[in-house]
A and B are shown apart, each in its own frame.
Chain A
Amino acid sequence: MKYIDEFRDGDLARQIGARIAAEAHPDRNYSFMEFCGGHTHAISRYGVLELLPPNVRMIHGPGCPVCVLPIGRIDLAIRLALERGAIVCTYGDTMRVPASDSLSLIKAKARGGDIRMVYSAADAMALARANPQCEVVFFAIGFETTTPPTALAIRDAAREGLANFSVLCCHVLTPSAITHILESPEVRQLGTVPIDGFIGPAHVSIVIGSAPYEHFAEEYRKPVVIAGFEPLDVMQAILMLVRQVNQGRAHVENEFTRAVTPEGNLKAQALVSEVFALRPSFEWRGLGEVPYSALKIREAFAAFDAERRFDLSYTPVADNKACECGAILRGVKKPTDCKIFGTVCTPENPVGSCMVSSEGACAAHYTYGRFRDIPIVATSATTEEVSP
């Protein structure tokens, strides 16, 4: 595939890996947080960690929109389907997120809720047009990447007077989450989470540009390298971060120049601000209430706001006590530090949100990397018998 295979080239990967190993000072550790679940997924799926020297460590951040969706929000969507008879549409991997009463959207569907997986907000609108007798609610989640299509759907619905369509808006914002991480006691005071720099979001930055990250570089002295989601992008970004750390610099650099500009997509930004306004506070799963970290639908489009249309009130629901997703999302713990990882909590039976989406830190490690947790035993059987 053109524009894809070039960024998955094994020979180039080994060359960059050798470069990182040569430039990383052996007497210090480097800890970088990849904020986006897309990066976490790429790192696990392509085995990027094995190409890094042991003193370069990656910390999985909270950038999976499915993982940070709090239970109470999924409960609202389930209630709309089961109690209010609405057709609830959402993106694929949202379907499995555990909610209250041992439910998830996929389980609520089995109980008779009309819940449908869609690929876009426009698909949800088409469903509303095709079912004029039903209320169709688009359960909108995601970071800045999926926000413009939701805004477009709301604006189009208003223009055509689509009376049976509304949006349960759970869109969240990347920069606020990064600020929250940097302000957390573990990073700021306790130093239990050393962060030397960030790999900045790819798709999000196509929309908002690289400029919003300048603040982190200047204020917190943390270098940020915006990178694409291909494994070579990630490796190149790690090399750029190692170089910044070695040179004592903290700048925003753009590895993803083929798609990201400093100002981003101004048209999309204008559309988003026409339809959405900032929420003063929003609960994130694992992070708790994060100020000014999410969007709500503006008054002018109130008719398309499911929260108002159905008079919904949000009730926070605590996570399972044994679940360490909160600490994992903040980089305080690794998936393997959680007692229920891989035993009670597996992709078949996810207890916490990090195990649900393949972009979640736990699911990525369980699915792709858990062989590393098991000490390699020098079995003569394996080595002798495998070689033909």
Chain B
Amino acid sequence: MRTEHDQAGAGEAPASKPVKKNYIRPLDIKHGRIDMGHGAGGKAAAQLIEELFLAAFDNPFLRQGDDGAVLALPAFDPAEGRLVMATDGHVISPLFFPGGDIGCLSVHGTVNDVAMSGAKPLYLSASFIIEEGFPLIDLQRIVQSMAAASREAGVPVVTGDTKVVEKGKGDGVFISTTGVGVLAPGVSISGRNARPGDVVLLSGTIGDHGVAVLSQRESLAFETTIESDTAALHTLVAAMLAAAPGAVRVLRDPTRGGLATTLNEVARQSGVGMLLQEAAIPVKPQVDAACELLGLDPLYVANEGKLIAVVAAEAAETVLAAMRAHPLGQDAARIGEVTADPHHFVQMATRFGGRRVVDWLSGEQLPRIC
């Protein structure tokens, strides 16, 4: 009687080549759909991981197939560097939008969260919660986009998890990613560091991601040439830090809640106010027009490839020049200043000549009736 081992032919296969598994037919990516078995931890789950996830993210850590990845860190002595860790859940509708999808977004989002502390991102983990019935071909597209984003950023996905939930209990795919990175000695970047007199810099136009996503929503569906700005910002951060060591005090990526909410968070954390110049804030005309039509304010619309920096005034021009020299910071602008304000108001000098508060977003941004 032939054993299962013999059937698999593992003994005959050269060690360097992947073992041909003949106990299961390959995934039918083109027509297949996720079923509960893919999340049950059995053969179907193993096959999904191997043929889809491993194939896309392929790297030595994942290939070991253990529950956790054993990672080499370039530095582990606090005097030589500190570890930074960030995690982010990604839920987005629709899953595919102009300029990106939930896959690349889930890489960029966490890489950026690590980078906003000034760290160099090193590794990512990814957890997938997939709804029963989700087409494999869409999952493959997402995973491949994620793998491409990870390769481009130079930050591998070294461990992961997959769960399947019953139809109707999810929204296609949810992806959680966690990232770790190392922070060089002497770098101290935090939302608590803004001081009156500092300068607020923005790396480019705002609202692109949010408008690109809205344009694909079933209920809105308008035509636009705007693409999501989703991008990994760690190399931009590195260039800024190198240009003026010690001068960058705060870094943030204005994602949900947009520029306005992010600046309010920083103002509150640091116990300061801000005065922005509306005319200096870059907004693409198409984004402006879409927001006008929908009754939204671009200041509150999400971005996935932009950052704000609070920088010591004397180094502002140097950092700004470094940003503009980087492909992701070409449209960088000086948008305002940090003020001493016990009420922590973010105010804006309007292009019209008046002044107003730029407040926190309250709940969801809802369009006005007229």
**Are A and B interaction partners?**
yes
A-B contact pairs, 15 of them (CB 8 A): A9-B352, A47-B354, A48-B354, A92-B367, A92-B368, A93-B367, A94-B369, A95-B366, A346-B362, A367-B357, A382-B339, A385-B196, A385-B197, A386-B275, A388-B313
CB distance from B291 to the nearest CB of A (A): 10
A/B pair count, beta carbons within 8 Å: 130
CB distance from A203 to the nearest CB of B (A): 5
Instruction: Please name all residues of chain B whose beta carbon is closer than 8 Å to the beta carbon of A33 when the two chains form the complex.
Output: none
- A48's partner among B285, B343, B352 (CB-CB below 8 A) is B352
Minimum CB distance partner of B362 in chain A? A347
The answer on a CB contact under 8 Å between A51 and B354 is: yes
- Is B355 among interface residues, defined by CB-CB distance under 8 A? yes
- A386's partner among B196, B288, B353 (CB-CB below 8 A) is B196
Using a CB–CB cutoff of 8 Å, the interface residues on chain A facing chain B are: 1, 4, 8-10, 13-14, 17, 37-38, 41, 44-51, 65-66, 91-96, 106, 117-119, 123, 141-143, 145-146, 203, 231, 346-348, 357-359, 366-371, 374, 379, 381-382, 385-388
The answer on a CB contact under 8 Å between A382 and B369 is: no
B interface residue count range (under 10 / 10 to 19 / 20 to 34 / 35 or more): 35 or more
The answer on a CB contact under 8 Å between B370 and A371 is: no
Using a CB–CB cutoff of 8 Å, the interface residues on chain B facing chain A are: 195-197, 199, 219-220, 275, 285, 288-289, 292, 295, 313-314, 316, 337-341, 343, 345, 347, 350-357, 359, 362-363, 366-370
Minimum CB distance partner of B367 in chain A? A92
The answer on a CB contact under 8 Å between A379 and B352 is: no
- B368's partner among A10, A93, A123, A388 (CB-CB below 8 A) is A93
The winner among B341, B347, B355, B362 for most chain A CB atoms within 10 A is: B362
Minimum CB distance partner of A346 in chain B? B362
The answer on a CB contact under 8 Å between A386 and B339 is: yes
Instruction: Please name all residues of chain B whose beta carbon is closer than 8 Å to the beta carbon of A385 when the two chains form the complex.
Output: 195-197, 340
On whether A357 and B368 interact (CB within 8 A), knowing A14-B353, A368-B359, the answer reads: yes
Instruction: Please name all residues of chain A whose beta carbon is closer than 8 Å to the beta carbon of B345 when the two chains form the complex.
Output: 371
The answer on a CB contact under 8 Å between A357 and B369 is: yes
The main secondary structure of chain A at its interface with chain B is helix
Instruction: Please name all residues of chain B whose beta carbon is closer than 8 Å to the beta carbon of A8 when the two chains form the complex.
Output: 351-352
Instruction: Please name all residues of chain A whose beta carbon is closer than 8 Å to the beta carbon of B219 when the two chains form the complex.
Output: 117-119, 123
The answer on a CB contact under 8 Å between A145 and B355 is: no
Minimum CB distance partner of A377 in chain B? B342
CB distance from A255 to the nearest CB of B (A): 17
CB distance from B183 to the nearest CB of A (A): 28
Q: Which 10 residue pairs of A and B lie closest in terms of their CB atoms, listed nearest first?
A: A47-B354, A92-B366, A347-B362, A92-B367, A385-B197, A368-B356, A46-B352, A388-B313, A385-B196, A381-B340
CB distance from B313 to the nearest CB of A (A): 4
- B357's partner among A49, A369, A386 (CB-CB below 8 A) is A369
On whether A359 and B356 interact (CB within 8 A), knowing A379-B340, A382-B340, the answer reads: no
Instruction: Please name all residues of chain A whose beta carbon is closer than 8 Å to the beta carbon of B288 when the two chains form the complex.
Output: 1
The answer on a CB contact under 8 Å between B368 and A358 is: yes
Q: How far is the CA of A96 from the CA of B369 in the complex (A)?
A: 13
